[in-house]
C-alpha cells in the first residue's frame, strides 16, 4: 500500500494512541495529510506546542456524537482510524448514557459519515473488554465492533470497507495501572484488586504498528487480533515496586480476573497466522474470507485468554517494557 497519496483522519487523535500513530505515520510512511479529530481544544493546543506542527497535519475540533461535523471532516479522506472513546470503566458505569452516546452512537456516526464521504477504509480500535463483556465499557465496545463489521453490508457497491483491531492493555497509556503503581511506590505500597489477576500487554508502539499493518491488509469484515504476551498483575507490581507492600483491595464491579481476546464462539470463524489471528465475518454476505488460505483454523473449544496464553512476561520481561515510563515518570511527563 502506498501511503504517500493517502489522507488519513484519526478520531480521538490527541490521545496516547492518536499521538503515537500520527508520529509514526508521518515519519515512516509519509501520508499526504493527517487530520486530528477530537473535541478538546486544550489537548489539540498542547499537541501542537509539544511538537506536532508538521505541515501535513490538520486539527479539527469536533465530537464523534456530531455526525454533520464528521461528514465535513471526512471530505476527501481516504482512511479513517476510529480511536475516540470513553474508556474509563468506573466513569462509564457512573455515566452510562454518556458512554453509549460516544462509544456506540459515535461509532454509528463515524460509519455513516464515512459512507457518505466515500472513505475507502475505516478501522475501529477495540479492546479485549469487548469479548464477553462484564462492564458497560466492554458492552459499548462490543456494540461498536458489531456496528463497524456489519456496516460492510451498507457499503454495497461502494468502495468503503470496515474492519476492527482488538488488543489488550497498552503499557503506560492513559488509564493504565503503570502510572498508578509508579505513584504508589513512593508510599511504600501498591494496591491490586486480586492477586490471581492476569492481563494481555503490549506497548503503544506495537499497537500502532499493528494498526498500520492491518490497514494495509484489510479487505473489510475482519477483526484483527495480535499475538501478545500475558502478565500477572502481581508480577507487574513487583517489577515496578519490588520493595513495596502489595495490598489486595478486592475486585471492582465489572472487573474480570482474566481477559479474553477471542471467545470460543468466535474461534470457529478465526484463522491463525504467525503473528496474529483474523476473526472472519460470521456470515458470508460480502467479503473478508480470503484469509482462510493464508493461515490455519483454530481447534474446537479454543479461547484466547490471558490466563491460558502460551507467551508470558516475567518480572524481568516486564521491567524492559516499563523502562521508558520510569524515565518519563522521573521527568514528570507520564500521563496518568
Catalytic annotation present for 129: yes
Q: Residue 156's domain spans which residues?
A: 3-167+202-227+260-304
Q: Are 142 and 176 in contact (CB under 8 A)?
A: no
Overall domain count for the chain: 1
pLDDT at 134: 94
Q: Are 245 and 198 in contact (CB under 8 A)?
A: no
Kindly state whether residue 221 falls inside one of the protein's structural domains. yes
Q: What confidence tier does 293 reach under pLDDT thresholds 50, 70, 90?
A: confident
pLDDT at 128: 96
For residue 103, give the DSSP letter.
Answer: I
pLDDT at 327: 74
Question: What digits encode the pLDDT tens for the residues 216-262?
Answer: 999 999 999 999 999 999 999 999 999 999 999 999 888 899 999 99
The share of the chain scoring above pLDDT 70, in percent, equals 96
pLDDT at 176: 75
The CATH number that applies at residue 38 is: 3.40.50.720
Q: What confidence tier does 175 reach under pLDDT thresholds 50, 70, 90?
A: low
Spot the catalytic one: 19, 20, 43, 129: 129
Q: What angle do CA 53, 160, 266 make, to 5 degrees?
A: 100
pLDDT exceeds 70 at position 335: no
Q: What confidence tier does 290 reach under pLDDT thresholds 50, 70, 90?
A: confident
C-alpha pair distances (Å), 245 with each of 97, 192, 236: 38, 11, 13
Kindly state whether residue 237 falls inside one of the protein's structural domains. no
Least reliable range by pLDDT among 79-83, 200-204, 209-213, 283-287: 283-287
pLDDT at 323: 82
Cross-strand bridge partners of residue 167: 127
Kindly state whether residue 255 falls inside one of the protein's structural domains. no
Q: What is the mean pLDDT of residues 112-138?
A: 96
Q: What confidence tier does 172 reach under pLDDT thresholds 50, 70, 90?
A: low
Kindly state whether residue 246 falls inside one of the protein's structural domains. no
Q: What are phi and psi of 228, to 5 degrees?
A: -135, 155
To the nearest whole number, what is the mean pLDDT of the chain? 92
Kindly state whether residue 134 falls inside one of the protein's structural domains. yes
pLDDT at 333: 67
pTM for the complete prediction?
0.94
Q: What is the mean pLDDT of residues 283-308?
A: 85
Question: What digits encode the pLDDT tens for the residues 59-113?
Answer: 999 999 999 999 999 999 999 999 999 998 889 999 999 999 999 999 999 999 9
Within a 10 A sphere around the Cβ of 42, how many other Cβ atoms? 8
Cross-strand bridge partners of residue 315: none
Within a 10 A sphere around the Cβ of 240, how many other Cβ atoms? 24
Kindly state whether residue 183 falls inside one of the protein's structural domains. no
Kindly state whether residue 113 falls inside one of the protein's structural domains. yes
d(CA 274, CA 62): 39
d(CA 311, CA 299): 18
Q: What is the mean pLDDT of residues 50-62?
A: 97
**Strand ranges in the chain using DSSP code E only, listed in sequence order:** 7-11, 33-38, 57-61, 79-82, 121-127, 161-167, 169-170, 189-192, 198-202, 223-226, 230-232, 245-248, 260-262, 270-272, 276-279, 296-297, 304-305
Kindly state whether residue 154 falls inside one of the protein's structural domains. yes
Amino acid at each position: 500500500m502506498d501511503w504517500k497519496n493517502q489522507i488519513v483522519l484519526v478520531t480521538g487523535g490527541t490521545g496516547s494512541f492518536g499521538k503515537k500513530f500520527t508520529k509514526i505515520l508521518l515519519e515512516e510512511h509519509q501520508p499526504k495529510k493527517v487530520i486530528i479529530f477530537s473535541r478538546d481544544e486544550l489537548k489539540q493546543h498542547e499537541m501542537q506546542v509539544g511538537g506536532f506542527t508538521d505541515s501535513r497535519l490538520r486539527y479539527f475540533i469536533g465530537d464523534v456524537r456530531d455526525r454533520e461535523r464528521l461528514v465535513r471532516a471526512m471530505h476527501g479522506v481516504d482512511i479513517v482510524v476510529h480511536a475516540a472513546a470513553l474508556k474509563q470503566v468506573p466513569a462509564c458505569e457512573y455515566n452510562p448514557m454518556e458512554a453509549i452516546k460516544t462509544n456506540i452512537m459515535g461509532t454509528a456516526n463515524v460509519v455513516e459519515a464515512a459512507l457518505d464521504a466515500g472513505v475507502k477504509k475505516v478501522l475501529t480500535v477495540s479492546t479485549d473488554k469487548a469479548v464477553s463483556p462484564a462492564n458497560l465499557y466492554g458492552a459499548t465496545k462490543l456494540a461498536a465492533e458489531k456496528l463497524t463489521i456489519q456496516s460492510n453490508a451498507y457499503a454495497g457497491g461502494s468502495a468503503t470497507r470496515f474492519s476492527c483491531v482488538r488488543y489488550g492493555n497498552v503499557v503506560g497509556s492513559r488509564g493504565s495501572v503503570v502510572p498508578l503503581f509508579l505513584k504508589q511506590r513512593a508510599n511504600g505500597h501498591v494496591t491490586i484488586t486480586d492477586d490471581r489477576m492476569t492481563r494481555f500487554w503490549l506497548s503503544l508502539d506495537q499497537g500502532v504498528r499493528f494498526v498500520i499493518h492491518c490497514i494495509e491488509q484489510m479487505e473489510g469484515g475482519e477483526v484483527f487480533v495480535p499475538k501478545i504476551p500475558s502478565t500477572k498483575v502481581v508480577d507487574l507490581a513487583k517489577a515496578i515496586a519490588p520493595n513495596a507492600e502489595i495490598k489486595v483491595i478486592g475486585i471492582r464491579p465489572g472487573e474480570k480476573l482474566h481477559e479474553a481476546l477471542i471467545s470460543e464462539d468466535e474461534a470457529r470463524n478465526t484463522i491463525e497466522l504467525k503473528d496474529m489471528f483474523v476473526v472472519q465475518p460470521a456470515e458470508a454476505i460480502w467479503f473478508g474470507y480470503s484469509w482462510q488460505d493464508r493461515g490455519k483454523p483454530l481447534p474446537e473449544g479454543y479461547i484466547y485468554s490471558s490466563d491460558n496464553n502460551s507467551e508470558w512476561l516475567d518480572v524481568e520481561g516486564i521491567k524492559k517494557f516499563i523502562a521508558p515510563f520510569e524515565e518519563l515518570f522521573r521527568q514528570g511527563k507520564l500521563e496518568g
